[in-house]
Amino acid sequence: MNRRELLFLLSSLAALGPRALARTLEDPARLYDLPPYGEASLLYFSDLHAQAFPHYFMEPPNLIAPKPLMGRPGYLTGEAILRAYGVARGTPLAYLLSHLDFVELARALGPIGGFGPLAALIRQQKARVEAEGGKALVLDGGDTWTNSGLSLLTGGEAVVEWQNLVGVDHMVSHWEWTLGRERVEALLGKFRGEHLSYNVVDELFGDPLFPAYRIHEAGGYALAVVGATYPYVKVSHPEEFTQGLSFALDLKRLQEAVDAARAEGADAVVLLSHNGLQLDAALAERVRGLDLILSGHTHDLTPLPWRVGKTWIVAGSAAGKALMRVDLKLMRGGIANLRVRVLPVLAQHLPQAADVEAWLAARLAPHRAHLLEPLAVSETLLYKRDTLYSTFDELVGQAVKALYPEVEVVFSPAVRWGTTVLPGQAITRDHLYAYTGFTYPELYLFWLRGEQIRSVLEDIASNVFTPDPFYQQGGDVSRTFGLRYALDPDAPTGQRVREVEVGGKPLDPNRRYLVAAYGGRLQRVGEAKAGHEPKPIYEVLATYLKSVGRVAVPPRPNVRVLGRNYRVPEVRG
């Protein structure tokens, strides 16, 4: 990291004086030196998705908002997000926040995240807080156990072992439940921290499975942490994973948990949430007594706290890109002030946690050849995040069509997790698992009528573009290949999708089309193709990549967006 980059980063992240700045320029490790502040420090990360190794992750080029929510945190990208937070283009913080100049910054600053660098940073910050007499809590915002190769191959156990090495105090959950209830409960038995949730209850009797909150003493004050599990687990994933459980959003139950913590003596209440930024903002307006919400699920990063009513909201990034340090100055009855710092997990600029690296090497050893096998080289940028389209999903469509040429339409789930492959970089199985690491990865072939395809597209658009956060479910818009359409995000429900074409011809509502899909339940709507044996999508991709050796996927968005300036980047090696 050169002097100019450090100067920008320091000015953006930590208002240091000239003397401290000079020392940091001599020693980049001082980037993470923060003077003491307040009585409690929350070391918070979210949406790691079990990414064990340093990797690249580009932020979305587009986040299309319902018109009433335009300009809010969570819907800012590119120049807009840099402008909103006063971040200079071409700086390390811009590398975390925006897709602009991504490849150049990735090559200059190196990969982000990984179990070793993130563990080292957490330990470093915790030790410094405690040495200064403060209280440090390590908080995990959920979506940590699943969606990577190492997670799939160890049933999530390796990730729990990492949490224990790091010393996670509390966690919440969402994708963890796709391991199945029995497996989740077994892994929680090995987790040395505590899973908090006000809203995971017995479906029949309503009895809670976990403590709703825990109170910690900090400098003579009492700080409560309340946990919130993603409320739409049963809507988003096959119901067999969570039979007998309810995750429903329950404002009354949440208010009761906050009130109980206050009655027990809590001066301040923090909600460790996996609701998503927009839903958390809506809760802040409806639930009394929440001083701070640490918001996960939507993979947003807020360098400055967002004030909604009387509640501060801080979003914790994703993919191991950053550790959020939230320092609290407490008072009787609440939080007097807070300091938020984004600590970038720049893997090449952090000290190693030797024991974590040794543990990871041992865990990887039996799987190294499988996970790190080069399958092909990408000549163009492969990325996942965007409201409507990604080059990785384009690659999936090409692979499915190559192996199953009779398929007319391919649906890919629009999950927010994944990774990024730079031009000239080899694609490994670990990359494929990062993109497609479902516990239900089978690729199904089935028949849908044109009318059903249009209905599916409308239902997805309704979930994503409703202006009411209480009805937003799932991720971005499911990707399609072999199909084109126009989208009006501001149109009424049932009228957002127009001009649908399949294979260059208008969609026939009465004709049957052969559809391929994975990572969801769409196949249940259609009629299965006779004789097709479903295979995991990552195996389909591996077969295709080995057969071609090199891939070039220039962006070809298949959705025309009405009323928005929709663009995607094209980057070649």
Give the model confidence (pLDDT) of 257-279 as tens digits.
999 999 999 999 999 999 999 99
Distance CA 174, CA 168 (A): 17
pLDDT digit string (tens) for 148-160?
999 999 999 999 9
Structure-token pair, residue 258: 């906050």
Indicate yes or no: pTM above 0.75. yes
Q: Cβ(68)–Cβ(467) under 8 Å?
A: yes
Pairing of the two strands 135-140 and 170-171: parallel
Region 242-257 average pLDDT: 97
- The yes-or-no verdict on residue 113 having pLDDT over 70 is yes
The whole-number pLDDT of residue 14 equals: 39
pLDDT: which is higher, 530 or 570: 530
Amino acid at site 101: D
Region 321-334 average pLDDT: 97
**pLDDT over 90 percentage in the chain:** 91
**234 sits in which H/E element:** helix 233-236
Structure-token pair, residue 483: 């199909």
Angle formed at CA 249 by CA 246 and CA 253, multiple of 5 degrees: 90
The whole-number pLDDT of residue 29 equals: 62
For the chain, helix, strand, coil in percent to 5 are 35, 25, 40
Q: How would residue 189 be classed by pLDDT, with cut points 50, 70 and 90?
A: very high
Q: How would residue 569 be classed by pLDDT, with cut points 50, 70 and 90?
A: confident
Sign of CA dihedral 110, 113, 117, 118: positive
3-state secondary structure of 478: coil
pLDDT digit string (tens) for 340-361?
999 999 999 898 899 999 999 9
Token pair 């809506």 is found at: 282
- The yes-or-no verdict on residue 4 having pLDDT over 70 is no
The whole-number pLDDT of residue 473 equals: 78
Q: Cβ(498)–Cβ(486) under 8 Å?
A: yes
Q: Which residues pair with 10 in a beta bridge?
A: none
The whole-number pLDDT of residue 91 equals: 85
pLDDT digit string (tens) for 519-549?
999 999 999 999 999 999 999 999 999 999 9
- The yes-or-no verdict on residue 1 having pLDDT over 60 is no
pLDDT: which is higher, 91 or 115: 115
Neighbouring CB atoms inside 10 A of 278's CB total 24
The whole-number pLDDT of residue 352 equals: 87
Q: How far apart are the first and last CA of the chain?
A: 23
Amino acid at site 61: P
Distance CA 465, CA 473 (A): 10
- The yes-or-no verdict on residue 10 having pLDDT over 80 is no
Q: Which residues pair with 572 in a beta bridge?
A: 380
- The yes-or-no verdict on residue 572 having pLDDT over 80 is no
Token pair 């239900």 is found at: 440
Which of 160, 413, 171 is CA-nearest to residue 274? Answer: 171
The whole-number pLDDT of residue 474 equals: 64
